[in-house]
Structure 1
Amino acid sequence: MTIKVNGKDVTLEKEVTVKELLEIQKVEMPDYVTVQINDEILDRKDFETLTVKEGDVVEFLYFMGGGAI
Structure 2
Amino acid sequence: MRLELNGEPVEVRATTLAELVEEQGYPPRAVATALDGVFVPVPCRAATTLTDGVKVEVLSPMQGG
Identify the TM-score tier after normalising by the shorter chain.
0.7 to 0.9
**Structure 1 gap ranges (5+):** none
> C-alpha separation between the residues in 2 aligned to 1:50 and 1:23?
14
User: In structure 2, what is the equivalent of residue 34 of structure 1?
Assistant: 32
Question: Which residues of 2 match residues 23-62 of structure 1 at below 5 A?
Answer: 23-27=22-26, 29-62=27-60
Task: Tell me if the contact between 2:12 and 2:20 (Cα under 8 Å) persists in the aligned partners.
Answer: no
Residue 5 (structure 1) aligned with residue 5 (structure 2): yes
How many percent of aligned residue pairs carry the same amino acid? 29
Distance in 1 (CA, whole Å) between partners of 2:22 and 2:61 is: 20
Matched residue count: 65
Unaligned runs of 5+ in 2: none
What is the TM-score with the length of structure 2 in the denominator?
A: 0.83
CA drift at 1:42: 0.7
Stretches of 4+ aligned residues off by more than 6 angstroms: none
Partner in structure 1 of residue 21 of structure 2: 22
